[in-house]
Amino acid sequence: MLRNIIVALKVVPKPEEVTFNPETKTVDRSKARNEINPADKNALELALRLKEKYGGKVIVVSMGPPIWDKYLRLAVAMGADDAILISDRALAGSDTFPTTRTLATAIKKIGNYDIILCGEESSDGGTGQVPPGIGEWLDIPHITFISDIIEISEDGWAEVKRTIKGGHEILKVKLPFIAAVELGCNTPRFPDFRRKRWADREFQLTIWNIGDLGLNPEEVGLKGSKTIVVDLEEVRPPERKREVLTGAPDELAKKLYELLKGYL
Partner 1 sequence: MEELWVFIEQDEGEVEESSLEVLSKARELGDKYGFEVVAIFLGDGVKNKAEEVGKHGASKVLVVDNPNLRHYNSELYSKVMEKLIMKYNPNTVLFSATRNGRDLAGRIAVKFKSGLLAHVISLDFDESKDLVGKVPGFGGNIAAVVKCIESRPQLATVTPGVFEIKEYKSTFEVIEEDLGVELEPKNIKILSKEKGEYIDISKSEKVVVAGMGTGGRMDLVEELAKLLGADVGVTRPLADIGVAPRDIQIGSTGVTLKSKLALILGASGAPHFTSGIKDCGLVITVNKDPEAPIKEYSDYLVVGDIFEIIPRLVKLLRGEENA
Partner 2 sequence: MIRVDFENRIRIAEASGGEPYKCFQCGTCTVNCLLGDVIPVRRNIRYVQLGVLPSNDGIWKCITCNFCRSQCPSDVDIAAIVRGIRYLNYEEKRSPEELNEILWRVYEEGNPLGSPRGERFSWLQTLTSNSNPDVVIYTCCLAAYDKRGQQVLTKLINVLQSAGVEVGVFRDGSCCGDIVYHIGDDYFYEELVNENAEKLESMKPSVVLTVSPHVYHNLKNLYPRYNAKISVPVMHHTQYLYELLNDGKLKLGRLENKVTYHDPCYLARYNGLTEEPRGLIEAVDGVEFVEMLHNKYETLCCGGGGGGIWTENMEARRATRDRLNEVTEVGTNTLVTACPYCIRMFEDEAKVTGQDIVVYDIVDLLSMAIE
DSSP result, 20-42: EETTTTEEE-TTSPEEE-HHHHH
Residues that bind partner 2 in the complex, under the rule CB under 8 A: 16-17, 35, 187-190, 192-194, 196, 249
Taking CB under 8 A as the binding criterion, the range among 107-115, 156-164, 199-207, 208-216 that sits at the site for partner 1 is 156-164
Give the residue with the Cβ less far from partner 2, 44 or 107: 44
End-to-end CA distance of the chain: 60
- Tell me how far apart the alpha carbons of residues 116 and 158 are, in angstroms, rounded to a whole number: 13
34 makes contact with partner 1 (CB under 8 A): no
116 touches 176 (CB < 8 A): yes
Cα-Cα-Cα-Cα dihedral sign, residues 215, 216, 218, 221: positive
Sign of CA dihedral 176, 181, 187, 193: positive
Q: How far is the CB of 94 from partner 1 (least distance, A)?
A: 13
Are 11 and 124 in contact by the 8 Å Cβ rule? The answer is no
Residue 174 in contact with partner 1, rule: CB under 8 A: yes
Q: Binding of partner 1 at residue 155 (CB under 8 A)?
A: no
Q: Does 190 bind partner 1 (CB under 8 A)?
A: no
Taking CB under 8 A as the rule, does residue 260 contact partner 1? yes
Q: Return all residues near 241 (Cβ < 8 A) that are at least 6 apart.
A: none
The reply to whether 23 sits near partner 1 by the rule CB under 8 A is: no
Q: Is there binding between residue 127 and partner 1 (CB under 8 A)?
A: yes
CB of 3: closest distance to partner 2 in angstroms?
Answer: 25
Q: Residue 167 binds which one of partner 2, partner 1, none, with CB within 5 to 8 A depending on kind?
A: partner 1
Among partner 1, partner 2, none, what does residue 54 contact (CB within 5–8 Å per kind)? none
Element (H, E) at 251: helix 249-261
Among 165, 194, 204, 218, binds partner 1 (CB under 8 A): 165
Which residues is 8 bridged to in the sheet? Answer: 61
C-beta of 233: minimal distance to partner 1 in Å? Answer: 5
Our CB check for partner 1 shows the closer of 66 and 262 to be 262
